[in-house]
Structure 1
Amino acid sequence: MTGASHRFERLHHVQVSMPADEEDVARAFYSGVLGMTEIEKPPVLAKRGGAWFRAHGVELHLGVEQDFRPAKKAHPAFLVDDLDSLAAHLAAHGTTPRWDGDFPGHRRIYADDPFGNRLEFLQPEPVPDDN
């Protein structure tokens, strides 16, 4: 769209789906393993189930989908500061990181949440010192 008078400030949140009545499983992974903080959903939305999490300005919402199927291709991608540490942490907690070298300028892994949703984690490659 050319000539638009609005601009995008930043991404507010990403939502992925989860099965009904699995909020404790979501909490165990997103808070317990990934270290995100659960945030309270507005009461009108809390009735629908699911859970919301936040960490350092990144917000992820999990919404209940009655006919749930995990997202195998669509995914959120998180920039992290220590990909090796995260990969080891995930592995220590039973989540297998899958390394992928196909993103120029970044190191990255994929991992699945407890529901089978694909998650991507990236760390920028160090910029070579030309001295």
Structure 2
Amino acid sequence: MLAAVDHVQLAAPSGAEDALRAYYTDVLGMTEIPKPPVLAARGGCWFQAGAVQLHLGIETDFRPAKKAHPGLRVTRIEACAARLQEHGAKVIWDDSLPGHRRFYSEDPVGNRLEFLEPTGTGAL
């Protein structure tokens, strides 16, 4: 049965790879990982930090996800939010999840991202 989430796939418009690389590597500190050659021909890029993998694939008629999103667990959430804001990203705090500090932001192509850190009490 299910053992783990292998990766999360997000969509992006054609030609967005440089902006995605700058954001996911320079801002979020992820490492770009090579795509298999047959998949690399389709465009897009893949990133990893620890066990977390995000795959950004090119989608014709791309529209960013405004509700669907990956939830990215972080440490030092205040520093994470400050880093995003220093790079021009909007940060929207949300205190409605018991046992967590969390905020939402968007990547350079408008995909919604949730960043969260357990606080100990009531955390999932």
TM-score, L = length of structure 1: 0.91
- Which residue of the partner structure matches residue 4 of structure 1? none
Aligned equivalent of 1:125:
119
Q: C-alpha distance in 1, partners of 2:31/2:24?
A: 8
What is the alpha-carbon distance in structure 1 between the residues aligned to residue 89 and residue 120 of structure 2? Answer: 26
Unaligned runs of 5+ in 2: none
Question: In structure 2, what residue type is equivalent to 1:21?
Answer: G
SS at match of 2:22: helix
- Of structures 1 and 2, the larger Rg is shown by 1
Which residue of structure 1 lines up, in the alignment, with residue 80 of structure 2?
A: 86
Alignment partner of 2:5: what SS? Answer: coil
Q: Tell me the C-alpha RMSD between the 2 structures.
A: 1.1
Q: 2:70 maps to which residue?
A: 76
Distance, in Å, in 2 between the alignment partners of 1:123 and 1:32 is 21
Take 2:73 and 2:40, find their aligned partners in 1: how far apart are those partners?
A: 28
TM-score (norm 2): 0.96
Q: Distance in 2 between matches of 1:38 and 1:70?
A: 21
* % identity of equivalent residues: 56
SS of 1:119 mapped into structure 2: strand
The Cα of 1:21 is off from its aligned counterpart by: 1.2
**Cα distance in 2 between the residues matched to 1:21 and 1:99:** 30
8 Å contact 2:104–2:114 — kept in the other structure?
Answer: yes
